[in-house]
Amino acid sequence: MDVQVNLQTDNWPQETAWTITNDCEEGALVQSNPAYPDQATFYTNQYCFPDAKYTFTITDTYGDGKYSFDN
């Protein structure tokens, strides 16, 4: 399964975090975000995972981030 995470940081990129967990393995963490050092920058990360059911969770510690998802 190919997964691509596209993310644009806001003015506080250190507040942004995400995880991908494998639901078939009791929520085992399979990937988390790299460091995003730059403000207002677009990042793309690509991964390849075995076929399974996954959960993607994104957070912004201050709560002012905006999220949108494409399947």
Distance CA 60, CA 7 (A): 12
Predicted pLDDT at 62: 85
Q: Tell me the per-residue pLDDT of 23-67, one tens digit each, with 9 for 90 and over.
A: 999 999 999 999 999 999 999 999 999 999 999 999 988 877 666
| Strands laid side by side in the 54-60 sheet | 28-32, 16-22, 54-60
Contact at 8 Å (CB) between 48 and 3? yes
Predicted pLDDT at 68: 62
Which phi and psi (to 5°) does residue 10 adopt? Answer: -95, -155
Predicted pLDDT at 69: 63
Give pTM, 2 decimals: 0.84
